[in-house]
Amino acid sequence: MTDGAVVPLGGTRLRFVHSGSKWTGEALDGFGRPPRLICSGSVAEVGDTFTILAAGAQMVVARANLPPAP
């Protein structure tokens, strides 16, 4: 990921900003809840979707498709 990079996630565009050892995301299209980077920045939560980022791969999972929490 590059500081200031803009990527499409969950039906909106996010700008990622690097600050020290942390990354933050900013929704550029006025998406409801602010996006969150979780799991050391390898998962982006945007609305009801989770985008899992790995070296050379990306997977989007909708919250409705996740099993219920125990």
Query: What is the reported pLDDT for 31?
Result: 58
pLDDT at residue 65 in the model: 62
Render pLDDT for 37-64 as a digit per residue (tens, 0 to 9): 888 778 888 777 888 887 777 777 776 6
| Contact of 50 with 63, CB cutoff 8 Å | yes
pLDDT at 30: 64
Render pLDDT for 3-19 as a digit per residue (tens, 0 to 9): 888 888 767 788 888 87
Q: Is 48 left (phi over 0), alpha (psi -120 to 50) or beta?
A: alpha
Residue-wise pLDDT for 21-43, tens only, equals 777 777 777 656 677 788 877 88
pLDDT of residue 15: 82
DSSP for 1-64?
Answer: --TT-EEEETTEEEEEEEETTEEEEEESS--SSPPEEETTTTEEEETTEEEEEETTEEEEEEGG
